Amino acid sequence: MSLERLREEVLEANLEIVRRGLVLYTFGNVSGIDREAGLVVIKPSGVPYEKLAARDLVITTLDGGTVEGSLRPSSDLATHLALYRAFPGVGGVVHTHSRHATAWAQAGREIPCLGTTHADSFHGPVPVTPEMAGDQIAEDYEHNTGAVIVRRFVGLDPMRTPAVLVAQHGPFAWGRTAAEAAHNAVVLEEVAHMAALTVALGGGRAISQALLDKHFLRKHGAGKYYGQPDS
């Protein structure tokens, strides 16, 4: 993919999370990576979405050095970079403060898999990180945010559970592309809302492993049969 095309994809993903109601003002960011070139395209910090254009996006290296762009990159850049370095299948990362997913993060609770809507996209609960220590917050905060996410995924497949809740902060989601990452962020917010309503109604029993596996694997497994064959 050319960098110009990646810029357009990342711009569209940023606009999509606004359209879907996941972002207030400038509370969110999306990035995408060109793995072959080792370059990341990310939203600039604090720029209103209604004024955002492809030319405003910032291009950086995986070490965080700016290659192209006159604006400051998102303050969450270091977290995005940590995820790209740790999860080689990831091609796009989204961070929002969407209402229901953030509520679970603020409560320090994972989002349980209570039904098939959740299981269609996430192969089990959406995990929550431990709270960050004072020294992690005081120095290299965004880098350390990425580090606690990576540690939380030891033993988990990030492509089967493409999202996390950072305790007392908010959600991050990812995918093979920036567009897929935005899609997963939208679905994450929906299942967070559903789970909150279910728990409030007195429910909360986790879905059976058999039903979880059936719904996830029919869309994402080697023998997937949901939708049309890949062209």
CA distance 117 to 132: 31
CB 161 within 8 A of CB 169: no
Any idea of the CA torsion for 49, 55, 57, 62, to the nearest 10 degrees?
170
Residue type, 217: L
CB 39 within 8 A of CB 67: yes
- Burial of 42 from C-beta contacts in 10 A (0-12 / 13-18 / 19+): buried
Q: Which residues are catalytic?
A: 120, 226
CA distance 183 to 110: 20
CA distance 47 to 97: 16
